[in-house]
Chains A and B, each alone.
Chain A
């Protein structure tokens, strides 16, 4: 579904890291990206999403080229149809739970998608609350639901469960599996938790010294 070759020089706290990675994500699978903190995992996700520009490389997603500097192609994040779930949720504080999901609708989507997603993620009774009135687990569930509303071609999950307590983490892992079973999206998950990785993903890529290995 997604093929990428990414090169990027990162300024680390001690030495610079020369990121040079090749990715081939299979459609409908959750692949995990494993690596020490500061190794460039988030940068890889950001480059795939179009938020950070690689120094060189090429990205193709769903048969179209997203990034190819030689042909002058750099598709804007808005047009890549990628979903991104952040570690710190990034819900819009001025909108309710339903408002956050409604904001994520593509112009051609049926507004009823929001109700369906609220039900699928058991958020209906929290629909009218603002993010400030939610627990960490609830916020992350909203963030996941919001990312899935526009039916992304690729879902990027940047340590989505690391800020949660054990109970919320397990609950959300199951939620994620259930949603994946039902919707079959392609996802790239950044995680440190070995148990979580074996539970959620079918393939693991390890990032070490700027290189990826299976």
Chain B
């Protein structure tokens, strides 16, 4: 574990999103500098993430891991020049995530059709939301739109009108990225016309450990059908096609696995039936041997009885 905080601006707070006990984080959000100071003194500890072990200090991480962590959380790591700035930005972003409405985040995940469990933590939801690059927001709820904007680093208030949030999101996207997206969308529409489209299924959560409701269709938000066009627009031509092939391969593998499972079940039933037959035959055989033995014993006993009878009543 790290050293105890020496900075007066550092104190214990509870991370609402974390299921584990409170982590030591920088409480003062007023200035980034204060956070940076806290990091420099090694005071702030990191809540557990996939990339960072629990209790390890953010400031101890190498720059490439920090950048990876920032990207995972939806931050643009290229905007920060020094590791200190990056650490402070990650902290601020995490604190912002802790304030987000979980239901709103679930709305975004369902809308973006990202694979998560029903009881995923806010940090996991954030990581999935950060992977959504789509800029067409039809089907997304108002609260979901605001949550998405905040994860993307766009400052907006609760209840801010949708057009205003959309405007900020588009502004944040930038001209080059927008142009690239339009190009990909055009390519996607061409490819989807060539390949044809198949209807998408309703969104389903990943099954969680001991989760009874896992795998049920979500009713929190309307499920948005993901077409090949959307996928290419979001991930590019190769990425979109790869994703589609991967999905097809997954479906094929799942179908084959089901078939194999059914075949194994049939074989097991057959083995069970044959074993039952063998057991019955074996027992019948044993009983027959016992019967023959008893008959033999009785024959010998009968002969012995006749012999004794003759010996007793007809002696020489």
Q: Do A and B come from one complex?
A: no
